[in-house]
């Protein structure tokens, strides 16, 4: 997956890292206790990918997505997914314009900078599939015409893993389009207390944040990440990790080449956010679980034994040898 920004001047690594810290600090004024997940989410956007938040309701996933869009200066559209949602409700459709006496295309909410699909597993697979082309190619084909989406374009989706009635599991092809799947977990006692005190102090439900960058700057940050070279040994390490999932006894289906590619792209993005123009094996290890786990399919025996894909990835990180020393890309 690339950001497709050849005409954008890349920002230097130090500037991307500085802006990244400012973005995360500003989002942190509204969102408590999600710094690590937000850094991975920001890295995913800078790597040109899409984010799936899968966790129980009420943990601030929607607030995090909205705050991130505001701070990045991106147009934002939120769609509450329901079982009766149609593909045209997402992509848009043509309507008759009496004044012009012709059909006019009315873009759907997908035509935005950051599209939030809230509770994506509540909508039917036919509607979920309307996102496939948009997520992979940044375009939609409607009524025989192909229409490009804005740049940048990113999807942030939320999914509720604890309810099954009225929900539809995301198919493997849909999951594979998400660069990462993140679970934020419950805040600790101090963080939850901070959430309450901030709400009382604001005197309102909304938690406003300020814009730090704009869409052209986001594109320049993405181009800066794309301009960062990678050591071949780190790329080989990503390939070895993905290949190990394809022969693991607990897995029926392992990670595809898209998985190893996304692993490398996100590791590079988090390295740049850390102020480095080279990727360490530790960067790969940091993002391996959110990048690879949702792409794995357990065998029935492993599933019945309560094995989790995350456990398999963690095991492989301890078993697959990485490069001994890595510095600036050769």
* Of 323, 182, 317, residue with least CA distance to 248: 317
In a domain, 246, yes or no: yes
Q: Is residue 200 part of a domain?
A: no
**Based on the domain organization, do 301 and 188 belong to the same domain?**
no
Asked if 19 and 113 sit in the same domain, the reply is: yes
What mean pLDDT comes out for the span 213-235?
94
Question: Does 20 score more than 70 pLDDT?
Answer: yes
Strands in the chain per DSSP E = 51-54, 76-80, 92-97, 102-107, 114-118, 139-142, 145-148, 154-159, 180-182, 251-253, 297-298
Domain of 144, in residue numbers: 13-193+212-217
Q: What is the pTM of this model?
A: 0.89
pLDDT above 90 covers a percentage of the chain that reads 52
Nearest to 239 by CA among 298, 284, 177, 172: 284
In a domain? residue 329: no
Q: Are residues 180 and 281 in the same domain?
A: no
Give the pairing type, strands 92-97 and 51-54.
unpaired
Tell me whether residue 6 is in a domain: no
Closest among 61, 90, 60, 88 to 77, alpha carbons compared: 90
- Judged on CB neighbours under 10 Å (0-12, 13-18, 19+), 208 is exposed
The torsion angles phi and psi of 312, rounded to 5 degrees, stand at -65, -45
Q: Are residues 237 and 315 in the same domain?
A: yes
Ramachandran angles phi, psi of 276, nearest 5°:
-110, 145
Which CATH number do you get for residue 41?
3.40.50.300
Question: Does residue 118 have a pLDDT over 60?
Answer: yes
Average pLDDT over residues 7-33: 92
Say whether both 246 and 184 belong to one domain.
no
CATH of the domain at 251: 1.10.8.80
Task: Examine the fold and report which residue of 156, 184, 217 is the final residue of a domain before the chain moves on.
Answer: 217
Which DSSP string corresponds to 2-40? ----TTSPPPPHHHHHHHHHHHHHHHTTTS-S-HHHHHH
Res. 13: pLDDT tops 90: yes
3-class secondary structure, 296: coil
- DSSP letters spanning 105-160: EEE-TTSSSEEEEETGGGS-HHHHTHHHHHHHHSEEEETTEEEEPPSS-EEEEEE-
pLDDT tops 60 at residue 17 = yes
Q: Give the domain-ending residue among 217, 252, 281.
A: 217
Residue 125 lies in a domain: yes
- Residue 2 falls within a domain, yes or no? no
Residue 153 pLDDT exceeds 90: yes
Q: Are residues 43 and 103 in the same domain?
A: yes
* Domain C-terminal end among 185, 217, 249: 217
Pair (189, 234) in one structural domain = no
Residue-wise pLDDT for 59-100, tens only, equals: 788 888 889 999 999 999 999 888 888 888 899 888 888 887
* 183 and 72 both lie in a single domain: yes
Query: How many domains are there within the chain?
Result: 2
Instruction: Please check whether residue 326 lies inside any domain of the structure.
Output: no
- 180 and 240 share one domain: no
With a cut of 90, say whether residue 132 has pLDDT above it.
Answer: no
Judged by phi (left if over 0) then psi (alpha if -120 to 50, else beta), residue 4 lies in: left
| Residue 234 shares a structural domain with residue 89 | no
Spatial CB neighbours of 70, under 8 Å, sequence gap ≥ 6: 76, 209, 210, 211
Same domain? 240 vs 312 = yes
CA max distance for the chain: 69
Are 143 and 269 found together in one domain? no
Is residue 182 assigned to a domain? yes
Q: Exposed, middle or buried by CB within 10 Å (0-12, 13-18, 19+), for 124?
A: middle
């Amino acid at each position: 997956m690339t950001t497709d920004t050849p005409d954008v001047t890349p920002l230097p690594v130090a500037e991307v890292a500085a802006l990244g810290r400012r973005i995360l600090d500003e989002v942190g004024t509204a969102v408590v206790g999600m710094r690590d997940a937000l850094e991975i989410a920001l890295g995913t956007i800078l790597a040109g990918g899409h984010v799936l938040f899968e966790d129980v309701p009420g943990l601030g996933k929607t607030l995090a997505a909205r705050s991130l869009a505001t701070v990045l200066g991106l147009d934002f559209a939120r769609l509450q997914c329901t079982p009766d949602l149609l593909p045209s409700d997402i992509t848009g459709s043509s309507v008759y314009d009496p004044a012009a006496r012709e059909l006019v295309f009315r873009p759907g909410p997908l035509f935005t900078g950051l599209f939030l699909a809230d509770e994506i597993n509540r909508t039917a697979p036919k509607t979920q599939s309307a996102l496939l082309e948009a997520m992979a190619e940044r375009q939609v084909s409607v009524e025989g015409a192909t229409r490009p989406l804005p740049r940048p374009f990113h999807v942030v989706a939320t999914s509720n893993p604890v309810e099954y009635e009225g929900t539809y599991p995301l198919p493997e092809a849909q999951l594979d389009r998400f660069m990462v799947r993140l679970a934020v977990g419950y805040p600790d006692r101090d963080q939850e207390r901070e959430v309450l005190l901030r709400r009382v102090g604001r005197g309102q439900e909304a938690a406003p944040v300020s814009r730090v960058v704009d869409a052209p700057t986001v594109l320049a940050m993405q181009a800066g990440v794309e301009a960062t070279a990678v050591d071949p040994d780190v790329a080989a390490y990503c390939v070895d990790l993905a290949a190990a999932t394809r022969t693991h006894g607990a897995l029926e289906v392992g990670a595809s080449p898209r998985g190893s590619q996304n692993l490398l792209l996100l590791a590079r993005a988090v390295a740049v956010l850390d102020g480095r123009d080279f990727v360490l094996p530790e960067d790969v290890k940091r993002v391996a679980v959110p990048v690879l786990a949702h792409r794995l399919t357990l065998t029935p025996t492993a599933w019945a034994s309560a094995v989790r894909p995350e456990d398999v990835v963690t095991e492989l990180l301890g078993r697959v040898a990485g490069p001994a020393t890595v510095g600036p890309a050769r």
